[in-house]
Amino acid sequence: MAHEHHPGIAATLSLVIPGVGQIYNGDFLRALFWLIITPGLWIGSGGLLGWICHLIAAYTAYNRAIDKNRGFTLPQVP
């Protein structure tokens, strides 16, 4: 039986620390992206864009969990 991804958990994890919800979903490259970009935008924008990254990361983690539960996968890069 495959691991079921809970969208609410993924979203909450990424809302607290962007990228952690992506790790929960098994999307390690996406997690790395959020873990690098978010602190840079927090510092570079004085905090304004940091909040936006938290929300976007949570939204994308939520949707990826739903997609994975339905069996949708991302195309693999050759």
27-74 confidence digits (pLDDT tens):
999 999 999 999 888 888 887 888 888 899 999 999 999 998 888 766
The answer to whether residue 76 sits within a structural domain is: no
Q: Rounded to two decimals, what is the model's pTM?
A: 0.82
The answer to whether residue 75 sits within a structural domain is: no
The answer to whether residue 62 sits within a structural domain is: yes
Domain encompassing residue 46: 7-70
Tally of domains within the chain: 1
The answer to whether residue 78 sits within a structural domain is: no
14-23 confidence digits (pLDDT tens):
999 999 999 9
The answer to whether residue 57 sits within a structural domain is: yes
**Rounded to 5, what percent of the chain is helix, strand, coil?**
70, 0, 30
